[in-house]
Structure 1
Amino acid sequence: MTTTPRTTTATDPARPGARERNPRGQGGRLRDDILTAATDLLDESGTEESVTLRAVARRAGISAPAIYGHFADRQTILLAVVQGAFAELDERLRAAHTEDDGSEGDPVARLHRVCAAYLDFAATRPQRYRAMFGGLWNTQRALAEENVTAGDLTDLGQDALEVLATALQDCVAAGRSGSDDPRGDAVALWLGLHGLAHQRVVTAAFPWPADIIERLVVPLAHLVPAADGDR
């Protein structure tokens, strides 16, 4: 009996690394797959050098040209990865802000939880965190090539910063912070947290004081002790 050799194609699931074609109307699924592949590559390597169109396509099981239907180039893929990381950071901060930890709505406790959540994100997502703030992708070139806008960049992190500002404003409203510019002081507090998060990574063996977060948050948030009647 003679059999006809089976010919595989780019969408043949029998071929190693091949990916089944998405049903019509499910292009969003392919975009998500591309982002997942790029994010996984970044997490595994910690460097932008690994996030190439060819590597992303190979990880997603598609051909490199298929990427162009969703992303103009490598820079726009990296921007989307960073946007996803900021969205996760925002989600973690909001969860910390609304968490019921038995503190009976103490705004200072909420602020500390938000700050701790920020530092925890940086510690558990180190590669994404570096991409968010460490310049792993070339924003100037992306702007010059007009594949991203200045608005794309200035919007990054604004939602997360708003959670921090709200937590600080709650402290002001409760008389627990002397800040007269909660938004501006939230930016200063973020810079302090960012510096600590970065230094924890690059100086892993440094003997940090046990109360380092308290030493950082109290002055930058202008926190004051509770009045006698509020204790």
Structure 2
Amino acid sequence: MDHPTRPDSGPRRPNARGQGDRLREELISAAVRMLGDLADDESLSLRAVARAVSISPTSVYLYFPDRDALVAAAMERCHAEMVQAADDAEAAEADPALALRARVLAQAAWVQEHPGLYKVMHESTVGMPFKEVLLTRTVAAVQRCMSAGVASPGDAAAVALDLRTAVVGMLSLRINEPEVAWPPFTEQADRFLVKLVGLVLPAEPARR
């Protein structure tokens, strides 16, 4: 899928000394935009990315050895944004049960805004070890609920992994099967939290 070049698509002037990192970030930004549209990293070409930032295709190799490396860098940036959104939402809640719930809902909100990127993040064969960060944060959130007595006692890591499996699968299915009459995400997420985590959620009026 070709993407338009910049309006000033003439030859790009070489970066001044020390500006190589800026070009690398521009390449990642272009890849993020394209992957969001394509929703499939196999359709991304380095030539198209190079054209988007007005450089020669061979210049991309100064920053990324291959397409997979660029895809991984783009997804790492996106994943960091999703994790930050979840962290911020959790931090805004004092109650550990609501904090875990807010984390899950914030992740879902990010996915709603970036469905194509989420597809790439979870359907690509490119290695993305950075995704473990989200699981680690979820384990900690589940443990806080257990320690506070608002979730069933148990192995927080195992419970968080079950929760992650349910949430990732449910979000992916909603993207790939939009014709299904899905219930509101909040309702489904609450069922996961109650059944998988044993969470005791505050009464409805107290929820956001």
TM-score, normalised with respect to structure 1: 0.77
2:108 maps to a residue whose letter is: L
User: Within 5 A, what are the aligned runs for 1:101-116?
Assistant: 105-116=94-105
**Which structure carries more helix by proportion?**
2
How many residues align? The count is 195
**Which residue, out of 130, 134, 137, partners 2:123?**
134
**For residue 176 of structure 1, what is the aligned residue in structure 2?**
150
Provide the C-alpha distance between the structure 2 equivalents of 1:113 and 1:214, rounded to a whole number of angstroms: 11
Please tell me whether residue 204 in structure 1 is matched to residue 178 in structure 2. yes
- Structure 1 residue 223 corresponds to structure 2 residue 199: yes
Is the 8 Å Cα contact of residues 34 and 56 (structure 1) preserved in structure 2? yes
Alpha-carbon distance change, 17 to 99 in structure 1, aligned in 2, over 3 angstroms: farther
* 1:94-147 CA distance string (max 9 Å, x none): 1111114xxxx2111111101101111222111111111112xx43xxxxxxxx
Structure 1 portions without partners, runs of 5+ = 1-12, 140-151, 227-231
Aligned to 2:205: none
2:158 is the alignment partner of 1:165: no
Contact 1:93 1:163 in 2 (8 A): no
Shift of 1:224: 3.9
Identity between Structure 1 and Structure 2 (%): 29
Alpha-carbon separation, structure 2, partners of 1:209 and 1:90: 25
The one-letter code of the counterpart of 1:218 is: V
User: 1:225–1:133: structure 2 CA closer, same or farther, 3 Å change rule?
Assistant: closer
Instruction: Give me the whole-angstrom Cα distance separating, in 2, the residues matched to 1:22 and 1:196.
Output: 44
Aligned partner (choices 76, 81, 88) of residue 74 of structure 2: 81
Rate the CA distance shift 1:198–1:51 in 2: closer, same or farther, 3 A.
same
Structure 2 gap ranges (5+):
1-5, 203-208
CA distance in 1, matches of 2:180, 2:44: 31
Residue 57 of structure 2 corresponds to residue 42 of structure 1: no
Task: Confirm whether residue 51 of structure 1 aligns to residue 44 of structure 2.
Answer: yes
Cα RMSD for the two superposed structures: 2.1
> Any conservation in 2 of the 1:41–1:50 contact (CA below 8 Å)?
no
Query: 2:97·2:201 contact (CA, 8 Å) conserved in 1?
Result: no
Q: TM-score, normalised by structure 2?
A: 0.85
